[in-house]
Amino acid sequence: MGDATTHKQNLVRTAMRLFRRQGYASTGLQQIVAESGAPKGSLYHYFRDGKEALGEAAVTLAGGLMREMLEGHAAKHPDPVPFLRAYCRTMAGWMKESDFRSGCPVATTLLETAPASAAITAAGARAIDGWIDVIGGVYERAGTERREAHTKAQLVVAAMEGALLLARVRRSTRPILDVARLASTCPTSIRASC
**Separation CA 158–CA 75 (nearest Å):** 22
**Is residue 21 within 8 Å of residue 101, measured between CB atoms?**
yes
Determine the average pLDDT of the residues in 74-101.
96
Closest CA to 163 of 107, 83, 123: 107
Q: In angstroms, rounded to a whole number, what is the distance separating the alpha carbons of residues 176 and 61? A: 23
- pLDDT score recorded for residue 5: 81
Confidence of residue 191 (pLDDT cuts 50, 70, 90): very low
- Residue 193's pLDDT is 45
pLDDT digits (tens, 9 = 90+) for 155-176: 999 999 999 999 999 999 999 9
Give me the CATH topology for the region 2-193: Tetracycline Repressor; domain 2 (1.10.357)
**What length does the chain have?**
194
pLDDT, average across residues 122-146 = 97
Residue type, 35: E
pLDDT higher than 90, residue 190: no
Residue % of the chain over a pLDDT of 90: 84
Does residue 61 have a pLDDT over 90? yes
pTM for this prediction = 0.90
Separation of alpha carbons 145 and 166, rounded Å: 31
* Percentage above 70 pLDDT, the chain: 92
**What single letter denotes the amino acid at residue 133?**
D
